[in-house]
C-alpha cells in the first residue's frame, strides 16, 4: 500500500471519529436543550394555574386535583399528568390507578430536591415524550405571616406536577438544528481532509525524489542529485543524500584497482555468467585447481562442482532460488583428477538480465574446523525448533481458555433457551458449538504435535509388541464399534526407544486405519522385519479405502485431510503428521504404499538402538 494512501486512511479515521463524536454530543445537547424548553413552557403554564394546584394540594381531594390537571393538559397538550405532594404521594393522576401511591423514582427524587423543573426523555405508549417534574410554588407569605412563621426554605414547594409533554411541535426544529450542525461538521471534515491530502502530497513529493535517487545509486549512478523542495527534516535528508552521492562518485574505485584486489585474495574466486560459464578467475583459483581458465568461457563451473552428500541441491539451482549461497560444502574436481573438499559461497552481482555470479571457494581440508561449524549450526537449528515448539504450546494453551467459554455458553444457550429461539437462530448457535468443538480439537492436536518435540521422555528398552497391544487397547471402543480386528504379530522386536511416543505412533496409525475404512469388517495387521544391520521395518496394513498416489507425501502434513470434515468421522488431519514427527525423532522415517479401494500399508523404519546407529 502506498504511503499516501496509508496517511489518508489514518486522517479519515481521525476525522470520522471526531465527526461521530461531534454529531453525538451535538445531538445530545440539542435534545437536552429542547427538552428543557418544553419543560419550562409547561412550568409557565403551571404558574398560571398555580392557585388551583395549591388549593387541590391543600385539600388533598382527588376531584379537585383532577379538575386542575384537566385544565393543565388542555393548555399544554400533556399526554399524562399527576399531582404529587411534597412527600411524594400522588394526590391525583390522569391514570387514576396511580392515585394514592408514592413516586420514588430517580427523576421524582431529583425533582423533590430541586426548585426548578427537571426532565428526561422517555417512551410512553410507543411515543417519545418529555417526562418532567414541575414544582408548584407556594403562595408568597405576607409580612405578618413572615413575622409569625419566619422564612420558608428557598427550595420549598406547595407540591409537584409529574407530566408527560409531547415532542411533536419541537421535533422538526430539533431535526433542523441537528442537520445544520451535521452539515457544518461535514464541511469542516471535508476541508480538513483536503488540507491533509495537500500536506501529504507536499511531504511525499520529497520522499519520491529521494526514492528515485536511491534507485539511481543502486544502479551505480552516483552523479544523480536529488532536488531539495523543502527546508524541513526531509530536506536535510535529501541534502545528506546528495553529499553522500558526491562522495561516492569521487571515491569510486577503478576496474584496475578492483582487479588487483581480486588477484590478491587468498581464496579461489570465480566470476561466471548465470549458466556457470567462467569469465574470469583469480590467481588463487588457478593454484587451487590447476586450470589456467584461458581463454575466458572455456570451462563451466557447474562441471567442476560435485555435492558431498547424495541428493544435495545443485549449487547454481540453489542460487537461482535463494539469491545467495553461504558456506556450502562440496567437492571440486581438480585438473589432476583429485576431488578437493571446498566450501562455496556465491551471490549475484549486476542488474537483472546482465547478472553475473561471484563464487568464492574455501579449502576445507581441515575437517575439524568444518565439523565444529556444522555442529554449531545444528545446535542453533535445534534451539530455534525448541523455541518454536514452546511458542506453539503456549499459544495453544492461551487459545483454549476463551474457546472453552464460547463452547460452554453456546451449549447452555441451546439447552436452556432452545424453545425461545427461532429455528434459524438455533441453527446458527449450533454451528457456533460445532465450530468451537472443531477448533478445540485442532488446538489439542496442535498441542500434541508440539509436545512430541518439546517433551523428552527417557529412552529405554521396550517391547514393541506390548506397545502395539496397549495402543489397540486404548482404542478398544472404536474397534468394538466398527467390529474390527487388530492382529499384532508375535515377532515384533524390542527397541531402545521412547515407549510413550512409540505407543502414540501405533495408536495414531490404528485409529487412521479404522476411521478410513468402508468395509463391514475392518482389519489391521501389524508386523515387522529386519532391515539391514541397524533397522527394523514395521508394517501397519489395513483393508480400508486406500489413498491416491499423488497424496502419498501430502497426508503427512499437519492438518492435511483428503476428505470433507463430514466424512469418515471428521478429525483434524494431525494424526499422521504426529506419527511422522515421532518416527523422525527416533532417527527413522515413515511412508505409505496404497491401492485405492483395497487398502494401505504404512512402513516405519526405526533404528533398533539409536545409540548404535551409524
Q: DSSP for 533-595? A: TTEEEEEEEE-SS---GGGTTGGGSTT--SS-TTSTT---S-HHHHHHHHHHHTT-EEEEEEE
Section 272-292 average pLDDT: 85
pLDDT given at position 4: 66
C-beta separation of 375 from 439 below 8 A: no
C-alpha closest to that of 514 among 475, 467, 553: 475
Section 293-302 average pLDDT: 83
Cell numbers that stand for 388 in this block: 518454536
Q: Per CATH, which fold does 265-357 belong to?
A: Beta-Lactamase (3.30.450)
C-beta separation of 266 from 242 below 8 A: no
pLDDT given at position 5: 73
Q: Is the pLDDT of residue 419 over 80?
A: no
pLDDT given at position 368: 54
pLDDT given at position 527: 93
CA–CA dist 201, 258 (Å, integer)? 43
C-beta separation of 3 from 207 below 8 A: yes
Q: Per CATH, which fold does 460-612 belong to?
A: Heat Shock Protein 90 (3.30.565)
CA 358, 361, 362: angle at the middle one, nearest 5? 145
Q: Domain map of the chain by residue range?
A: 265-357, 373-451, 460-612
Cell numbers that stand for 274 in this block: 548465470
CA–CA dist 452, 196 (Å, integer)? 55
Cell numbers that stand for 150 in this block: 419566619
pLDDT given at position 223: 67
- For 527-570, what is each residue's pLDDT tens digit? 999 888 888 899 999 888 888 888 778 777 766 555 555 555 55
CATH architecture of the region 373-451: Orthogonal Bundle (1.10)
Confidence tier at 151 by pLDDT (50, 70, 90): very low
C-beta separation of 153 from 146 below 8 A: no
CA–CA dist 2, 6 (Å, integer)? 6
Kindly report the backbone phi and psi dihedral angles of residue 259, in degrees, each rounded to the nearest multiple of 5, phi listed first: -60, -40
- Helix, strand, or coil (residue 478): helix
C-beta separation of 361 from 342 below 8 A: yes
Q: Is the pLDDT of residue 150 over 50?
A: no
| Global pTM value | 0.35
Of all residues in the chain, what percent carry a pLDDT higher than 90?
Answer: 4
Could you say which DSSP state residue 611 is in?
A: G
The mean-pLDDT minimum among 237-241, 498-502, 514-518, 602-606 falls in 237-241
CA 79, 80, 82: angle at the middle one, nearest 5? 155
Q: Is the pLDDT of residue 194 over 70?
A: yes
CA–CA dist 461, 489 (Å, integer)? 19
CA–CA dist 310, 114 (Å, integer)? 94
Element (H, E) at 523: strand 523-531
Confidence tier at 155 by pLDDT (50, 70, 90): low
Section 511-518 average pLDDT: 83
Confidence tier at 41 by pLDDT (50, 70, 90): confident
* Residue entry with cell 486406500: 546
Amino acid at each position: 500500500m502506498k504511503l499516501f494512501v496509508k496517511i489518508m486512511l489514518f486522517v479519515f479515521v481521525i476525522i470520522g471519529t471526531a465527526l461521530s463524536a461531534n454529531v453525538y454530543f451535538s445531538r445530545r445537547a440539542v435534545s437536552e436543550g429542547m427538552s428543557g424548553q418544553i419543560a419550562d413552557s409547561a412550568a409557565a403554564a403551571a404558574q398560571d394555574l398555580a392557585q388551583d394546584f395549591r388549593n387541590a394540594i391543600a385539600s388533598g381531594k382527588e376531584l379537585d386535583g383532577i379538575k386542575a390537571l384537566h385544565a393543565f393538559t388542555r393548555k399544554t397538550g400533556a399526554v399524562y399528568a399527576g399531582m404529587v405532594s411534597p412527600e411524594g404521594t400522588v394526590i391525583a393522576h390522569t391514570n387514576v390507578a396511580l392515585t394514592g401511591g408514592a413516586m420514588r423514582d430517580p427523576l421524582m427524587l431529583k425533582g423533590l430536591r430541586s426548585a426548578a423543573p427537571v426532565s428526561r426523555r422517555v417512551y410512553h405508549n410507543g411515543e417519545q415524550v418529555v417526562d418532567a417534574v414541575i414544582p408548584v410554588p407556594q403562595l408568597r407569605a405576607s409580612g405578618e405571616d413572615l413575622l409569625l412563621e419566619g422564612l420558608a426554605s428557598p427550595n420549598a414547594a406547595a407540591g409537584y406536577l409529574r407530566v408527560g409533554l409531547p415532542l411533536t411541535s419541537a421535533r422538526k426544529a430539533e431535526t433542523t438544528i441537528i442537520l445544520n450542525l451535521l452539515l457544518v461538521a461535514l464541511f469542516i471534515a471535508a476541508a480538513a481532509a483536503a488540507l491533509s491530502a495537500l500536506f501529504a502530497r507536499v511531504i511525499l513529493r520529497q520522499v519520491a525524489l529521494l526514492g528515485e535517487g536511491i534507485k539511481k545509486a543502486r544502479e551505480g549512478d552516483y552523479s544523480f542529485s536529488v532536488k531539495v523542495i523543502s527546508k524541513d527534516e526531509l530536506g536535510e535528508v535529501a541534502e545528506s543524500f546528495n553529499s553522500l552521492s558526491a562522495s561516492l562518485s569521487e571515491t569510486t574505485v577503478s576496474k584496475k584497482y578492483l582487479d588487483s584486489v581480486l588477484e590478491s585474495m587468498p581464496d579461489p574466486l570465480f566470476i561466471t555468467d548465470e549458466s556457470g560459464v567462467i569469465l574470469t578467475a583469480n590467481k588463487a583459483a588457478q593454484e587451487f585447481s590447476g586450470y589456467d581458465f584461458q581463454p575466458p568461457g572455456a570451462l563451466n563451473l557447474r562441471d567442476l562442482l560435485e555435492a558431498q552428500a547424495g541428493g544435495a541441491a545443485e549449487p547454481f539451482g540453489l542460487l537461482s532460488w535463494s539469491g545467495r549461497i553461504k558456506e556450502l560444502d562440496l567437492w571440486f574436481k581438480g585438473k589432476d583428477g583429485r576431488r578437493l573438499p571446498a566450501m562455496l559461497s556465491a551471490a549475484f552481482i549486476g542488474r537483472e538480465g546482465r547478472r553475473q555470479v561471484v563464487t568464492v571457494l574455501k579449502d576445507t581440508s581441515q575437517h575439524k574446523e568444518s565439523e565444529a561449524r556444522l555442529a554449531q549450526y545444528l545446535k542453533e537449528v535445534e534451539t530455534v525448533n525448541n523455541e518454536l515448539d514452546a511458542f506453539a504450546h503456549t499459544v495453544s494453551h492461551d487459545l483454549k481458555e476463551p474457546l472453552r467459554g464460547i463452547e460452554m455458553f453456546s451449549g447452555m444457550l441451546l439447552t436452556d433457551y432452545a424453545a425461545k429461539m427461532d429455528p434459524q437462530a438455533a441453527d446458527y448457535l449450533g454451528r457456533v458449538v460445532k465450530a468451537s468443538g472443531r477448533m478445540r480439537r485442532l488446538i489439542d492436536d496442535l498441542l500434541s504435535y508440539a509436545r512430541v518435540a518439546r517433551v523428552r521422555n527417557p529412552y529405554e528398552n521396550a517391547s514393541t509388541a506390548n506397545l502395539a497391544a496397549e495402543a489397540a487397547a486404548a482404542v478398544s471402543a472404536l474397534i468394538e464399534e466398527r467390529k474390527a480386528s487388530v492382529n499384532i504379530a508375535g515377532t515384533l522386536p524390542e527397541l531402545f526407544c521412547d515407549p510413550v511416543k512409540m505407543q502414540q505412533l501405533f495408536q495414531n496409525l490404528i485409529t487412521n486405519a479404522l476411521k478410513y475404512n468402508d468395509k463391514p469388517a475392518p482389519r489391521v495387521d501389524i508386523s515387522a522385519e529386519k532391515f539391514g544391520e541397524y533397522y527394523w521395518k514395521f508394517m501397519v496394513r489395513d483393508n480400508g479405502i486406500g489413498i491416491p498416489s499423488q497424496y502419498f507425501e501430502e497426508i503427512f502434513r499437519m492438518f492435511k485431510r483428503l476428505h470433507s470434515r463430514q466424512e469418515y468421522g471428521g478429525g483434524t488431519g494431525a494424526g499422521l503428521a504426529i506419527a511422522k514427527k515421532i518416527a523422525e525423532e527416533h532417527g527413522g522415517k515413515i511412508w505409505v504404499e496404497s491401492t485405492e479401494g483395497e487398502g494401505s500399508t504404512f512402513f516405519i523404519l526405526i533404528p533398533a538402538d539409536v545409540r548404535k546407529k551409524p
